[in-house]
Homo-oligomer: A and B are copies of this chain.
């Protein structure tokens, strides 16, 4: 079998070992492993990179620990507003969705948009209508309810602050540092399949107490997600506004294509150069056509994992 590989992230930010418990660490790592292996199974059966990243992100969307799908945070109106995107490096096909509620798996909707809408990017009520016509699974508000997320939301409401991130602290210790910590709740995956095709996808439940229909980088091709067989597949997580302004995901690909940088140097230049230069915090995962994988971030931590063969799995949270 040709080289294959898959990487996953579950968000980046100020993830402090001091505010973690061994039990919580295990839960996060288990969640990442499960999602990674679901995608790996697809690759191992000679499935496509596209199906693999979709499966991995779907698995994370179903896990309430991560801010996407079931685990989505609350908006200012007490709703859940979700975004996702997916891109096929083989032909640059893409599907994106923003500002949808009650869709069980926004990544499946992004894929359906790519395959069946004739468009690339659908949003809001219109995207939900498209989802209904195409038989996507809906869930009621209770499915997305989570006591911890609700407390985050109530606190953010009271303080009249946007919560630019999601915090994984236990409810008891939110108070002092909920808004001091920056944790970017996004999930994403990138993969290379045995046919040499690359794919990327990203999904998010947005920001706690967010207002005004804010859209971050997650559903935007070029900013939060990009895949091109000639270069790499990238999925980002972080301060969305900075990833949009630096066109972060596509920028990695450009540096490889036009400046002939390796995937390591290209990711490094974006994460520790262009993003950091304008104050952008977060990280990204990337894979190239040779199966090289990079998981890079300029924040304290990033939930991340990868495997190149399904056996040697590396799962990390902090810098080391």
Residue of B nearest to A256 (CB): B258
How many of chain A's residues have a CB under 8 angstroms from any CB in B?
Answer: 45
A255 interface contact, C-beta 8 A: yes
Residues from chain B with Cβ under 8 Å of A93 in the complex: 245
* Inter-subunit contact A120/B213 (CB<8 Å): no
Closest A-B pairs by Cβ, 4 of them: A126-B213, A258-B258, A222-B247, A126-B212
Residues from chain B with Cβ under 8 Å of A94 in the complex: 244-245
Shortest Cβ distance from residue A276 to the other chain B in the assembled complex, whole angstroms? 13
* Inter-subunit contact B125/A213 (CB<8 Å): yes
Our pick among B119, B130, B222, B255 for the contact of A258 (Cβ within 8 Å) is B255
Question: Would you list which residues of chain A between 106 and 137 have a CB under 8 Å from chain B?
Answer: 117-127, 129-130
A98 interface contact, C-beta 8 A: yes
Question: Would you list which residues of chain A between 210 and 237 have a CB under 8 Å from chain B?
Answer: 211-216, 220-223, 226
A172 interface contact, C-beta 8 A: no
Residues from chain B with Cβ under 8 Å of A158 in the complex: none
Q: Give complex CA distance A244, B221 in Å.
A: 7
Q: Give complex CA distance A239, B247 in Å.
A: 20
* Inter-subunit contact B99/A212 (CB<8 Å): no
Residues from chain B with Cβ under 8 Å of A120 in the complex: 240-241, 244-245
Residues from chain B with Cβ under 8 Å of A250 in the complex: 222, 247, 250-251, 254
Our pick among B124, B226, B244 for the contact of A121 (Cβ within 8 Å) is B244
Copies of the protein in its oligomer: 2
Q: Could you say which of A212, A244, A255 has the most chain B C-beta atoms within 10 Å of its C-beta?
A: A212
Residues of chain A at the chain B interface (Cβ within 8 Å): 91-94, 96, 98-99, 117-127, 129-130, 162, 211-216, 220-223, 226, 240-241, 244-247, 250-251, 254-255, 258-259, 278
* Inter-subunit contact A214/B119 (CB<8 Å): yes
* Inter-subunit contact A215/B92 (CB<8 Å): no
* Inter-subunit contact B124/A216 (CB<8 Å): no
* Inter-subunit contact B124/A124 (CB<8 Å): yes
Q: Could you say which of A98, A122, A213, A220 has the most chain B C-beta atoms within 10 Å of its C-beta?
A: A213
Q: Give complex CA distance A223, B125 in Å.
A: 24
Shortest Cβ distance from residue A156 to the other chain B in the assembled complex, whole angstroms? 14
Known: A94-B244, A129-B212, A221-B245. 11 other contacts (CB 8 A): A91-B278, A94-B245, A119-B212, A120-B244, A121-B241, A126-B214, A127-B213, A221-B244, A226-B247, A247-B247, A250-B251
Our pick among B92, B96, B122, B212 for the contact of A117 (Cβ within 8 Å) is B212
Shortest Cβ distance from residue A230 to the other chain B in the assembled complex, whole angstroms? 11
* Inter-subunit contact B212/A130 (CB<8 Å): yes
* Inter-subunit contact B123/A213 (CB<8 Å): yes
Residues from chain B with Cβ under 8 Å of A221 in the complex: 220, 223, 244-245, 247
Q: Give complex CA distance A118, B212 in Å.
A: 11
